[in-house]
Structures are given as C-alpha cells and as structure tokens.
Amino acid sequence: MKKISIAILVLVVALASCKKTPEVNLKYVDVERDLITVGMTTATVQCDYDYIATLKKAYFYYGEGANEADMNTAEMRVVQNTLYVDLTGLRANTTYSYFYEFHNGFNSMRTALKTFKTEVSPAGVTLPTVVTASVTEIAANSAKGGGEVTNDGGAQVTERGICWSTHANPTVSDNHVAAGEGTGAFTALMNGLEANTTYHVRAYATNEAGTAYGLDKEFTTLSSGGGGNGNAPEGAINGLFTINENGDQVYFSQGNLQYQASTNTWRFAEHQWDYVGGVDVLTNNIGGNVFENGVKCDNSLVSSTYNGWIDLFNWGTSGWDNGNVYYMPYDTGYIDDIYIGFGYGPTDGTNYMFDLTGSFVNADWGVYNSIINGENMPGLWRTLTIHEWDWLLLNRNTESGIRFVKAVVDGVNGVIILPDNWDVSVYALNSANVSEVPYTVNEITTENWAALEIVGAIFLPASGYRAFDNNTYYVGRMGSYWSSSFHDTPGCAWGVSFDLDDCYFGSRYYSNLHFAHPVRLVCSSIQNN
C-alpha cells in the first residue's frame, strides 16, 4: 500500500468592516498533515486542519481527470479531531486528481490540485483504516493515546495499538503497545517517557495485508517540577496535594473507585466525571453515565453476581475479612432478613470503632485489592484519613490560594480540588474556597476541563449514596466521600460531603457505616523513590 503526503492550505478569515463579507485568504502551507491510504478500489483520506474561522463544511473532490465537472464530491466528517472520508468504487491502478474545499459560512477556499493512484491487491484485501486519537492525561513520564479502526480492509484486524518516538511518524519498530484487535475505538498508556520531551504518536492496525497507520500526533510531556514530581503511577492524575502539617503530598486516582462483583475486578473510572448512579428514590431521575455491554449500570443492583459496575461502597468493604459480618463490596445489611447495623468495618468482636489503619489497614479499599488500571498491585493506594481531608480542603496553603471550587464538568455536578502549585492563568475559576454556592458557579466543558486536568486538577462527582435497603438517593446532587477514620458515634465513620448549595467538609460530616458512598483513593508522591 502507498501513503501520499501532500500540502494542506490553512485558511484565515480577514478582518472586514460590518458592511463587508469576510474574506478567506491563504496564509501558509503545512506539508505534514495529510494522509491518503489507497487500496485497489478504495482510498481513505485523513487530514488535520488549522482553520481560524469556524469550519462549517469540508468537501473532497476527486476524479480521473482534472475537469471539475467530471469529479465526484464527498463531504468529510470529523473523527478524533481529524477530517476523514472513505472513498469506494474506485478503479484499480488508476490516477485520480483531487482537491479540498473548505466553507466558513460566508465563502469558501480550495487547495491546489494533487493526485493519488490506486493499487492492485491480488488477494482482494486492503490495509485497514485507523485514525489516531488526541493524546490525553499527559504527565511527566506517561500519557494516554489511542485511536479508532474504522475499516478492517476486508480481513480481520489481528492487532491494533499505538507506537511512539521522539521522531515523526513512528512505526511498530519503535516503542509500541497493543490494545486488542478488531474494529472500533481503543486507548493505550505510554509509560517510561522522559519529562519535558516532545513525542510523536500514531495509531496502527494490522491485518493480512500489512500494517496501516493514522496521522502523526505530537505532544510534550510535563516537566518533573510541573504538576507532579514525575513519579505518578499508572492511574494517577499528575498533581501534588499536601495532606498534613508535615508537608506530605499525594496523587489522586484518575477517577472514583469501581467494582464488578461477577469478575471480582476493581478499576478506576475512565474519566473524573464518570459515576454509576442509579434511580434516585426521591426524584425518580436516572443518574450515572457508566455502561457495561451497552447496558447502563445501577448501584441499586449490587449483588455477588452482578456483571455491571458499582461505585458506592459501605465502610471498610475491600474484600479482606476484617472480622466483621460484612466485608465484601456486594454485601448488604441483612442476614435472613434481619438488619445488622454494625456489620461493616473492622471489629475485635465487641468494639467497632477502629480506623482502617494499623492492624486493620487491609480493610481499606485501596490496600488489599489490585486495581487493573492503577498498576494492578495491592498496597499502592489508600483512603485519606479525616485529618488529611480537613487539611486538604480547609487548611492547606497553595500557591494560588485556591483549594477547591464547586463546578459542573461535562454536565456533572461536583467539586474541583486544585493542586498545591495551581496557576490561576490556566483557567478563571469563581467562588474559590466557598461552600455556600451552587455548582453552576463554574460550568466547564470537556474541552476546557482537559486544560485543568493536565496540570493536576481533581474533580469529585456528586454521585449520591446508597442506603442499606439498596435504594439510591441524591444521585447527581450530593457527593459524600469516605475517609478511613471511624467516628466516636457507634456504627459511624467520617467523610466529606457537598450538596447543591453547601459543603460539609472535614469534621462537620459523618455517616452510618451501612450507607454506601463513593471512594477516591490516593497514593504517596514518593512511592517510586
């Protein structure tokens, strides 16, 4: 197969008076951002575009001659921020002329005329088509890449993944990691990167005809002195947060903890705003945005055989036998229809008031269990104590003076916690360190959130809670996160909470052990030293 690199015109809209129609003018040519993968009767066109005006439409004109009247026209679509179109019904071993046409709503601009040529495949199988996704979760030593296989080329895609290097257009001969097989979207983690270094990454897909690649995407890792110290493990957000008067710092996990009982699997949510939710008993609203096999997950369906995901946990339910009646994440508050209120958390048989530390540390959600996208090893993650939550939210000194704000991120209510070295120039946030405001005081899109997360911002979604009757309450309205500290009221433990118009941080909030709340884990900033 053949890949043809051509020039792309980058269009800008010239300033005009209110009486004139804006003009589109040629500014410069970028020769690296166009990729055409040709087969016998098909071709796939990809290009990144740099267009200062609002791009309304993009068309691809192609034909066997240079006469526009004889050319075909195909409207391009956006896949992972790349303009993309599949061409079919082409003739083998034929040269085609083509050009792009861009529309901004006022007028249009065309690129120069270029050519590509189809090939002959004796087996009738062409290379697969794969699109490179934008790089996310960039840290000092890691980043998340991915892509989408949009066409298998007529044969099974036996491997797909990403490859990366410090030089342009990396191949599978460079650093690479596989991410399954077949068509569809995928993600993969790039580990072992150098801090403050520019890398190139491409998605790839392999079938019997060979290996195809997507466009080259460029990104730069953070400096070790940026959001973190360069030691953030897999599954961590690269921001440092002081948690006590001694100056100890932690990383937060990339999302809330989730559990699948049917496979005994623990994981972190893919996005910080993801939560399982359920049917809210009070409002009958269905909250949550987590699916399994196309079915929306529901915390109220918790059981030992449930094949969906849950993210609301009773206190001290890691799966380690802590000496109490209940210790599995799927346990309920009943034995033979009799409710047992003290059935959660560690006990010596008489006393139930033990922290999830010392002899009972394995009852902490992040200690006994392995988390598949969090280094997949026990003992790395843990839950904050109530003193550490207090320090983080109420007493911590930060360079910006901002510890937290309430916000709506990607349509989800919650609280943003800012790292110690937060730079206020990254994004303007309202009502810093103020509890008595609505979530809507800061409304942040997915795109804007990426700018905050890349420098270490943490988001805690308001996912509600589950009572001992397995009903869910305040889904999408209230967030109440456990600490690892018991409360001196029997059958209760400390946590932090926030609601529509208020926050109950630190020592002002505690809950019954049998209520199920979300859990957000942390790990030490020096765990790799």
- 10-residue block means of pLDDT along the chain (529 residues)? 40 35 38 74 82 74 90 87 84 87 79 86 78 84 88 92 94 91 90 87 91 91 56 85 93 96 95 92 86 92 94 92 89 72 80 87 91 90 95 92 95 95 89 92 91 90 90 92 91 90 67 93 73
Residue 87 — φ and ψ, nearest 5°?
A: -110, 135
Q: Convert the pLDDT of each residue in 397-445 to its tens digit.
A: 998 999 999 999 999 999 999 999 998 888 899 999 998 899 999 999 9
Q: CA angle 297-343-354, nearest 5°?
A: 110
Q: Is 445 exposed, middle or buried (0-12, 13-18, 19+ CB in 10 A)?
A: exposed
Rounded (10°) CA dihedral 85, 88, 90, 92: 100
Give the separation between CA 153 and CA 349, rounded to whole angstroms.
64
Give the separation between CA 171 and CA 102, rounded to whole angstroms.
31
What pLDDT score was predicted for residue 54? 66
218's CB contacts (< 8 A; 6+ apart) are 168, 198, 199, 200
**420-427 LR contacts (CB < 8 Å, sep 24+):** 420/239, 420/240, 420/241, 420/242, 420/249, 420/396, 421/226, 421/227, 421/240, 421/456, 422/398, 422/455, 422/456, 422/457, 423/399, 423/455, 424/400, 426/451, 426/452, 426/455, 427/451, 427/452
Residue type, 42: T
What is the token pair recorded at 417? 């916690």
Taking alpha carbons only, the member of 521, 312, 504, 500 closest to residue 406 is 500
- For 377-405, b where at least 16 C-beta lie within 10 A, e where not — what string? ebbbbbbbbbbbbbbbbeebebebebbbb
Q: 278: helix, coil or strand?
A: coil
Beta carbons of 275 and 519 less than 8 angstroms apart: no
Residue given tokens 């088509």 in the structure block: 129
What is the token pair recorded at 31? 């020769």
Q: Convert the pLDDT of each residue in 7-59 to its tens digit.
A: 333 333 333 333 344 444 433 333 346 789 888 778 999 887 665 556 778 89
pTM above 0.85, yes or no: no
Residue given tokens 């004889």 in the structure block: 70
Taking alpha carbons only, the member of 303, 255, 289, 308 closest to residue 476 is 289
Q: Is 460 exposed, middle or buried (0-12, 13-18, 19+ CB in 10 A)?
A: buried
Residue given tokens 């918790």 in the structure block: 302
Beta carbons of 252 and 431 less than 8 angstroms apart: no
For 125, other C-beta atoms within 10 Å of its C-beta total: 18
What pLDDT score was predicted for residue 33? 66
Give the separation between CA 502 and CA 479, rounded to whole angstroms.
11
Rounded (10°) CA dihedral 497, 498, 502, 503: 50
Paired with 214 in beta bridges are none
Domains in the chain: ranges and CATH: 3-117 (2.60.40.10), 129-220 (2.60.40.10)
Helix (H) / strand (E) element for 448: namely: helix 446-453
Q: CA angle 15-19-23, nearest 5°?
A: 40
Give the separation between CA 148 and CA 29, rounded to whole angstroms.
27
